[in-house]
Amino acid sequence: MLAEDQQVLHDALAWAAQGLRLWLVSVARTWGTAPRPVGSWAVLAGDGRISGSVSGGCIEDDLVARMRAGELDRSLPFLLRYGVTADEAHRFGLPCGGTLELVVEPNPPLSMLRELQQRLQAGERLLRSVDLANGAIDCRAAQASDESALLAQQFRAVLGPRWRLLIVGAGQIARYLAPMATAIGFDVTVCDPRFEAEAAWDVALAPMVRDMPDDFLLHWQPDAHSAVVAVSHDPKIDDLLLLEALKSAAFFIGAIGSQANQAKRRERLAGFDLSAGEIARLRGPVGLDIGSKTPPEIAVSIAAELVAVRSGRR
């Protein structure tokens, strides 16, 4: 399963190969409550197909109508604003007070799209800049402080893996969680030191390493955009990982297991050099309580909690 940025580029290049005209459309600014964050993008083809999303529906339909009416036929990138009036907000399905401004780029250079695709496939995190005055495009490796934003006449968008997820344990839950996490924007790595786990793992789902998870975590260097989820079912593996993860800057640290097993785990962790506050960071049982029982259902609950925490929801 391709992550969103790569899916947009894959479809754009496929449609260009069919001789279709293209427009890149990106969320440049928002006011109030908007359905998609700044930097979200989509590609619109001349036959009306769209890949990606800037609103989730109604605005995309309006963009297709504008394209067919010739309103998007310009030579340079330009801005479109939606939701300025209450009537517009209602028409386009925007929340009360929601307004968003889009950057529309007619005829994006195919060489640029190919370069982006290759660099994102290599795992790079990129900052793409578009000068609205002359259409000039620049692309460089993104820094940790870079954010998607419209600054005067320059639109900047961060592309590629903005978030990382380390899954410890290459079992059934990981088989479902890895592609789900990739689809919601995480760069996923699976770690499991057990030989039999490596033999059964499908590397198409995510890369796998056989290091001890606590050792690999120190090499991985989790930051505030990193999440760690232990699903190995082996306390010897999971607890060693958690001893290091709970002291790290990771924004999300979770482990599977029943409430009773989580209580025992917290008792074990308290016997090491972890503070009460560090132990309290552990999300266990990990995943939102949706009544999940099967591995795919548990993976859905974990992915949902990752999104909730990443979005700042309690």
- Summarised one tens digit per residue, pLDDT across range 186-201 is 889 999 998 888 788 9
pLDDT in tens, 38-55: 999 999 999 999 999 898
Q: What pLDDT sits at residue 82?
A: 87
Among the listed residues 184, 207, 201, the one whose alpha carbon sits nearest the alpha carbon of residue 300: 184
Q: What pLDDT sits at residue 1?
A: 52
Among the listed residues 27, 23, 36, the one whose alpha carbon sits nearest the alpha carbon of residue 150: 27
Q: In Å, what is the CA distance from 143 to each residue of 59, 72, 122, 177?
A: 31, 33, 17, 28
Mean pLDDT for the chain? 89
249 in Cβ contact with 222 (< 8 Å): yes
In the numeric block, which tokens belong to residue 275?
């503070």
Q: What pLDDT sits at residue 190?
A: 94
Spatial separation of the C-alpha atoms in residues 172 and 205, rounded to whole Å? 12
Spatial separation of the C-alpha atoms in residues 192 and 290, rounded to whole Å? 27
Q: How far apart are the first and last CA of the chain?
A: 29
| Confidence tier at 209 by pLDDT (50, 70, 90) | very high
pLDDT of 235 above 70? yes
pLDDT of 123 above 90? no
84 in Cβ contact with 94 (< 8 Å): no
By the 10 Å C-beta count (0-12 exposed, 13-18 middle, 19+ buried), 266 is classed as middle
pLDDT of 83 above 80? no
Q: What pLDDT sits at residue 89?
A: 59
Sign of CA dihedral 6, 40, 221, 302: negative
pLDDT of 30 above 80? yes
- On the question of a cis peptide bond just before residue 285, with omega within 30 degrees of 0, the verdict is yes
The Cβ of residue 56 has, within 10 Å, a number of other Cβ atoms equal to: 11
Backbone dihedral region of 143: left (phi > 0), alpha (psi from -120 to 50 degrees) or beta? beta
